[in-house]
Amino acid sequence: IIEMAEDGRAPAACNSRVTDMFAAGEFLHICAPMVRYSKLAFRTLVRRHGVHVAYTPMIISDCFVRSQLARDVEFTTSALDRPLVVQFAANNAADFALAAEYVSPFADGIDLNCGCPQRWAMSEGYGSQLLKNPELIADMVASARRRASVPVAIKIRINNDIRITTELAMRAEHVGAAWITVHGRTPQQRCQPVNYEAIRTVKDAVSVPVVANGDINSLADAARVREQTGVNGVMSARGLLSNPAMFDPTEPDVASTVREWVDIALGLGTPFPCFHHHLIYMLEGTLSRSDRREFNSLSSPAAVVDFLASQGVL
């Protein structure tokens, strides 16, 4: 059990591979949590190409703690799937803390999603809805730290009043959040420009590592955002979906990355919709409109393999 210090702060966070890398001054390339997408097979692929840390998809904590079936379906990993951060959506401290305890032996960090802007999530009190209740976020982080054997972090979106965001970040740090990921948009924004100045303000307000999220689509973007904000790492979602090798300085071509994906995904028994959808993202910029229409209509792994072979990819 982790006891609070006399000044109300949590003691120093548990160490893990992630916190060790931050402490060593490494600038981390991170695969974002992506519902349906950042599963084991995809994490395996991006780790080969410059991703230092990968997140699981967001997992709903109340289902996870109440159902063995949910745990078996929602969380799969392997000995090589490290460093790994498991992200949970939660609306109460008890569920989040218990879920964190369950996965701690298999992870290098636990993350609380305080940024998902989807209406269904907010209606359940998850994601960005938590930003309206910083006291609850602090309680959830503190509770998870008492149960988990690995560090606990949060992922947030910004407020139009950046003072509200910095106060939330400082409160999370105070109760022991090991790092903070900041998506530089508000919950109401989707495609508007990312506010990197706001991310810089959060970085300057706390002493724990800060990770920038939003419109990181290349190594050049990562370098630019690092220079602009002073963050300790960057997190990418859509950029990695389109190009899982975007962090690889050798810049492998699309065909070679597709071949790797086919080998990994079929080898791990990835369900067809996931296998296919990743390829749709990866091939979007290389197939003609008619070929995309044909490819998107395929309905079996064999049909996908035949199509790729006909295109000279396999």
* Number of neighbours of residue 220 by Cβ within 10 angstroms: 10
Task: Indicate the DSSP class of residue 153.
Answer: E
Burial 171-187 (b: 16+ CB within 10 A, else e): bbbbbbbbbbbbbbbbb
For tokens 């390339």, name the residue: 29
CA angle centred on 43, ends 39 and 49, rounded to 5°:
155
Cα 42 off chain centre by: 12
The H-assigned helical ranges of 230-288 are: 238-242, 254-267, 272-283
Find out whether 82 and 56 touch, Cβ atoms under 8 Å.
Answer: no
Nearby residues of 31 by Cβ (< 8 Å), 6 or more positions away: 38, 42, 43, 46, 51, 53, 54, 55, 235, 236, 240
Torsion sign, CA atoms 251, 109, 182, 204: negative
- Please give the Cα distance from 47 to 24 (Å, whole number): 20
Q: Which of 31, 114, 116, 191 is catalytic?
A: 116
- Please give the Cα distance from 283 to 202 (Å, whole number): 36
- Please give the Cα distance from 212 to 185 (Å, whole number): 11
E strands, the chain, in order: 28-31, 53-55, 59-60, 84-89, 109-114, 152-157, 180-183, 210-213, 233-236
For tokens 């802007």, name the residue: 117
Is 63 a residue of the active site?
no
Task: Indicate the DSSP class of residue 112.
Answer: E
Which residues are known catalytic residues?
Answer: 116
